[in-house]
Amino acid sequence: MLSLVEAFIGFFSIIRFRISKFGFRILSRRWAMRTASFVLIAAAAFAAPAFSADAPTGVTNIFRPLSTPAQAIREVSLLVLAICAGIFLVVGGLLAYTIVRFRWRPGDEGHEPPQIYGSNQLEFAWTVIPIVTVFVLFLATARTIYDVQSAIPPADALNVTVVGHQWWWEIRYPDLGIVTANELHVPMSGPDKARPTFLKLESADVVHSFWVPQLAGKTDVIPNRENRMWIEPTQSGTYVGNCAEYCGMQHAHMLLRVIVHSPGDFEKWTAAQQQPPVDDPQARAGRDVFFATACINCHTVGETKARGTFGPDLTHLMSRETLGAGTVPNTAEKLRAWVRDPQTIKEGCNMPNMQLTDDELNQIVAYLLSLK
Ligand code: CUA
pLDDT tens digit sequence for 7-46 = 444 444 333 333 333 333 444 555 555 655 655 555 555 4
- 180 in Cβ contact with 187 (< 8 Å): no
Residue 260 has pLDDT above 90, yes or no: yes
254 lines ligand 1 (CB under 6 A): yes
Overall pTM > 0.85: no
* Other CB atoms within 10 Å distance of the CB of residue 84: 12
* % residues pLDDT > 70 (the chain): 84
Vertex 269 angle, CA 266 and 270, to 5° = 85
Residue range 328-348, pLDDT digits in tens: 999 999 999 999 999 999 999
At residue 41, the pLDDT reads 56
Find the 205 Cα to ligand 1 centroid distance in Å: 10
Query: What pLDDT is recorded for position 30?
Result: 59
1 pLDDT exceeds 50?
no
Distance CA 60, CA 296 (A): 37
| CB of 247 closer than 6 angstroms to any ligand 1 atom | yes
- Please give the pLDDT value at position 280: 87
Q: How far apart are CA 209 and CA 225, in angstroms?
A: 13
Q: Which atom of ligand 1 is found nearest the CA of 244? A: 2
Identify which of 320, 333, 206 has the alpha carbon closest to the alpha carbon of residue 269.
320
User: For residue 58, what pLDDT is reported?
Assistant: 55
The residue whose CA is least distant from atom 1 of ligand 1 is: 208
Q: What is the pLDDT of residue 49?
A: 41
65 or 169: which carries more pLDDT confidence? 169
Asked if the model's pLDDT at residue 322 lies above 60, the reply is yes
State the distance from the centre of ligand 1 to the C-alpha of 296, rounded, in angstroms. Answer: 25
Q: Residues 294-320: pLDDT tens digits? A: 999 999 998 888 889 899 999 999 999
What is the chain's percent helix, strand, coil content, to nearest 5? 45, 20, 40
| Lowest-pLDDT range of 29-38, 47-56, 169-178, 256-265 | 47-56
Query: How many Å lie between the centroid of ligand 1 and the Cα of residue 200?
Result: 17
Distance 243 CA to ligand 1 centre (A): 4
If you average pLDDT over residues 150-162, what whole number do you get? 92
Lowest model confidence (mean pLDDT) among 15-29, 62-76, 113-127, 206-220: 15-29
Give yes or no for residue 201 CB within 6 A of ligand 1. Answer: no
Is residue 210 helix, strand or coil? strand
8 A C-beta contact, residue 138 and residue 131: no
Segment 2-7 shows an average pLDDT of 41
Ligand 1 close to Cβ of residue 243 (< 6 A): yes
Ligand 1 in contact with 164 (CB < 6 A)?
yes
Atom number of ligand 1 nearest to Cα 167: 1
* List of residues 6+ apart from 175 with CB closer than 8 A: 158, 159
Residue range 78-114, pLDDT digits in tens: 999 999 999 999 999 999 999 999 888 888 887 787 8
**82-91, 123-132, 180-189, 278-287: range with lowest mean pLDDT:** 278-287
Q: Is the pLDDT of residue 281 over 60?
A: yes
| CA 329 / ligand 1 centre spacing (Å) | 20
What's the pLDDT band for 69 if we cut at 50, 70, 90?
Answer: confident
CB of 223 closer than 6 A to ligand 1?
A: no
Rounded to 5 degrees, φ, ψ at 36 are -60, -45
**Ligand 1 center to residue 162 CA distance, Å?**
13
Question: Would you state the pLDDT for residue 211?
Answer: 94
CA–CA–CA angle 56, 59, 63 (5° rounding) = 75
Q: What is the pLDDT of residue 22?
A: 37
The confidence score (pLDDT) of residue 332 equals 93
Ligand 1 atom closest to the Cα of residue 252 is 2
Mean pLDDT over the full length of the chain: 85
* Residue 278 DSSP one-character state: P
Q: Are 188 and 233 in contact (CB under 8 A)?
A: yes
Q: 219 Cβ partners below 8 Å, 6+ apart?
A: 199, 201, 209, 210, 211, 227, 228, 229
